[in-house]
């Protein structure tokens, strides 16, 4: 049977996040579409270097060896790009050179990618362009502006880790707003007042749920990948995040409550494949 978006967790990735296309984008911005097309045709045999998202994509595709069944991948990576189709041959050649097989791609020629994100039921869209990420989030699609590179792709005990910040990422920014309005005292009062109420869902809530569904048939002691929470909260304020995740059915494998410590310290030890955070200081 033909593949359908419902068969997999669909990860959308922009071509500029997957491969290093900065020079090509400069030509497009400064000289226009025809110059971009001419450049791509003249360089079709030149391999494009790896982009910041490549290690993550490779690791996610590797998970299909464990998670896939009945010939349908548990995770389907789709390139969804505003780039002109003139770069398709070069991108395909580069992916083959780098040893990654991506079967599906949409190149809109500067058209709106949102209809394609919706049609493909994308569970997570990663891009190097802030506008594209904000557009996806505005229509309820989990999305992230990706930073970093190969040095950030790590493992712990051989099991990949996907890590999330809590407030304004997994959860809404409700508690963050309470802190901004009343500093620590206001935040503490807000958390005490709402202690028995689960935190509202945030922009990455649906993606986290989709990850849990992928591994729901695996025992907690041997998951195919681990889900981690790395939050700026003190442990004093752990109740609502932990109880909320429990209510959602997300089995948390690791938690770090930084309590004023830099998240970089925690992430250096954890070495996640990717960390989702709303604060640019942690990117």
Q: Which residue in the block uniquely carries the two structure tokens 């989702």? A: 276
Say if residue 236 is in the same domain as residue 108. Answer: no
The parent domain of residue 194 ranges over 161-282
pLDDT reported for residue 189? 79
Mean pLDDT computed over 160-172: 94
- 251 and 200 in a common domain: yes
- 156 within domain boundaries: no
Same domain, 142 and 17: yes
In this model, does residue 152 exceed pLDDT 70?
Answer: no
Mean of the per-residue pLDDT values of the chain: 90
**What pLDDT is stored for residue 194 in this prediction?**
84
Three-state DSSP class for residue 2: coil
- The confidence band for 279, taking pLDDT boundaries of 50, 70 and 90, is confident
Q: In this structure, how many other beta carbons lie within 10 angstroms of the beta carbon of residue 168?
A: 18
Length in residues, the chain: 283
Q: For residues 178 and 139, state if they share a domain.
A: no
Average pLDDT, integer, range 16-26: 93
Q: Which of 171, 162, 129 is nearest to 254 (CA)?
A: 162
Q: Check residue 185 and give its pLDDT.
A: 78
In a domain, 154, yes or no: no
At 69 the pLDDT is 64
Q: Are residues 141 and 256 in the same domain?
A: no
> What are 232-258's pLDDT values in tens digits?
999 988 999 999 999 999 999 999 999
Residue 230, pLDDT score: 97
Q: In the predicted model, what is the mean pLDDT of residues 96-113?
A: 94
- 108 shares a domain with 177: no
Single out the residue in 119, 147, 175 at which a domain terminates.
Answer: 147
Q: Note the pLDDT tens digit of each residue in 185-195.
A: 778 877 888 87
The count of structural domains within the chain is 2
Q: Which of 25, 112, 165, 167 is catalytic?
A: 165
Where is pLDDT greater, at 280 or 64? 64
Residue 278 pLDDT exceeds 60 = yes
pLDDT value at 221 more than 90: yes
Residue 155 lies in a domain: no
* Contact indicator for 126, 144 with CB cutoff of 8 Å: yes
pLDDT digits (tens, 9 = 90+) for 47-92: 999 999 998 999 999 999 888 666 789 999 999 999 999 999 999 9
Decide which of 164 and 190 is more confident.
Answer: 164
Predicted pLDDT of residue 192: 82
The C-alpha atoms of residue 73 and residue 222 are separated, in whole angstroms, by: 20
In a domain, 276, yes or no: yes
Residue from 100, 124, 120 nearest 3 by CA: 120
174-186 pLDDT, tens digit per residue, is 877 877 776 777 7
CA-to-CA distance for 80 and 107, rounded, in angstroms? 6
Residue 249 is assigned to a structural domain of this protein: yes
Long-range contacts of 197-201 (CB under 8 A, 24+ apart): 197/240, 198/240, 198/243, 198/244, 198/247, 198/248, 199/166, 199/167, 199/171, 199/172, 199/174, 199/175, 199/240, 199/241, 199/244, 200/171, 200/172, 200/174, 201/171, 201/172
Domain finish residue from 82, 112, 147: 147
Q: Are residues 168 and 116 in the same domain?
A: no
34 lies in some domain: yes
pLDDT tier for residue 154 given thresholds of 50, 70 and 90? very low
Token pair recorded at residue 34: 């025809």
In a domain, 86, yes or no: yes
Assess whether 213 and 235 both reside in one domain.
yes
Distance CA(243)–CA(239), nearest Å, equals 6
What integer pLDDT is reported at residue 124 of this predicted model?
A: 97
Please indicate, yes or no, whether residues 77 and 197 belong to a single structural domain of this protein. no
> Are 9 and 143 part of one and the same domain?
yes
191 in the same domain as 124: no
Domain closes at, from 115, 147, 179: 147
pLDDT (0 to 100) of residue 282: 60
Pure H helices in the chain? 15-18, 22-31, 33-42, 54-67, 88-97, 114-119, 130-138, 174-193, 205-214, 239-248, 263-270
C-alpha separations of 96 from 11, 46, 47, 99, 185 in Å: 19, 12, 10, 5, 55
- 152 falls within a domain: no
pLDDT at position 260 over 90: no
**Among 63-67, 215-219, 273-277, which stretch is predicted with the lowest mean pLDDT?**
63-67
Q: Is the pLDDT reported for residue 264 higher than 50?
A: yes
Same domain, 278 and 204: yes
Residue 180: CATH number of its domain: 3.40.50
Q: Does 135 qualify as catalytic in the annotation?
A: no
Partners of residue 229 on adjacent β-strands: 164, 255
């Amino acid at each position: 049977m033909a593949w359908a978006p419902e068969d997999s967790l669909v990860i959308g990735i922009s071509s500029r996040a997957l491969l290093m296309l900065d020079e090509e984008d400069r030509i497009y911005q400064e000289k226009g579409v025809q110059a971009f097309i001419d450049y791509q045709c003249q360089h079709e045999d030149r391999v494009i270097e790896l982009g910041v998202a490549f290690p993550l994509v490779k690791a996610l595709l590797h998970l299909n060896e464990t998670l896939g069944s009945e010939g349908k991948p548990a995770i389907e990576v789709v390139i969804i790009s505003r780039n002109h189709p003139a770069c398709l041959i070069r991108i395909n050649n580069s992916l083959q050179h780098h040893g990654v097989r991506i079967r599906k791609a949409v190149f809109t020629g500067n058209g709106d990618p949102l209809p394609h994100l919706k049609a493909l039921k994308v569970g997570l869209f990663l891009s190097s362009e802030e506008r594209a990420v904000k557009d996806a989030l505005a229509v309820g699609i989990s999305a992230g502006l990706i930073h970093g590179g190969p040095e950030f792709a790590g493992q712990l005990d051989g099991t990949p880790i996907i890590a999330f910040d809590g407030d304004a990422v997994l959860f809404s920014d409700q508690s963050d707003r309470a802190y901004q309005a009343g500093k620590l005292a206001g935040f503490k009062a807000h958390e005490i007042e709402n202690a028995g109420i689960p935190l509202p869902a945030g922009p990455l809530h649906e993606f986290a749920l989709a990850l849990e569904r992928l591994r729901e048939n695996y025992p907690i002691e041997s998951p195919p990948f681990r889900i981690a929470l790395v939050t700026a909260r003190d442990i004093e304020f752990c109740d609502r995040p932990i109880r909320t995740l429990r209510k959602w059915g997300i089995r948390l494998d690791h938690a770090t409550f930084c309590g004023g410590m830099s998240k970089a310290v925690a992430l250096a030890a954890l070495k996640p494949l990717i960390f989702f955070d709303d604060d640019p200081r942690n990117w």
